[in-house]
Amino acid sequence: MAEEPLVFEGKRVLGVVPGVPPVGDRKIPEEQESVMVWPHLLVRHAVAALAVLLIVLLVAIFFDAPLREIANPAVTPNPEKAPWYFAGLQELLSHYHPLVAGILVPGAVILGAMALPYLDRNPDRHGKTRRVAVATFTIFLVAWIVLTIIGFAFRGPDWGWVWPWIDWYGEL
């Protein structure tokens, strides 16, 4: 005996499979699966952008950008400070010859950073098998951060040592 034809919304269909559609993202997602950029990624972009805008706005409302006296080549401030991201370089400069601290070291760091993907032949991306690369990068990173913090906050007149909680000479 033939089965009754299946009718769905007035149309005869071969069958109805329960579950999730084969395309789109209305199914249970797994790690390697794709999701639609709209809305999932674009909404995250928007939220991140608004959060950053809010932070910048709040900081800008509550803290004024510095503006000292008008530039005067006759009056040298003590200490002379570079912007914070060059404070590490300036700290290095106080220990070594400018050719070394100002040209050779930053030049080598930049060239080394550019060459990194070609020097690191290890194809693995897991931290445990990348001990040498991770250690090297981390040493540079920590050294740079320490130098920057020292140059930024711990140096005062004549580039002498100061404690930032007693005398503040950091400039932004």
Residues 113-172 that bind another protein (CB under 8 A): 113-114, 116-118, 120, 123-127, 130, 133-134, 137, 141, 171-172
Does 110 sit near another protein (CB under 8 A)? Answer: yes
* CB closer to another protein out of 2 and 23: 23
* CB closer to another protein out of 17 and 114: 114
Minimum Å gap between C-beta 25 and another protein is 7
Cβ within 8 Å of residue 148, ≥6 positions away: 84, 85, 87, 88, 91
- Structure token pair of residue 37: 């950029």
Helix (H, G, I), strand (E, B) or coil at 137: helix
Are the C-beta atoms of 87 and 81 separated by less than 8 Å? yes
Helix (H, G, I), strand (E, B) or coil at 123: coil
Ranges within 11-40 binding another protein (CB under 8 A):
21, 23-26, 29-40
Among 7, 16, 28, 61, binds another protein (CB under 8 A): 61
Are the C-beta atoms of 154 and 162 separated by less than 8 Å? yes
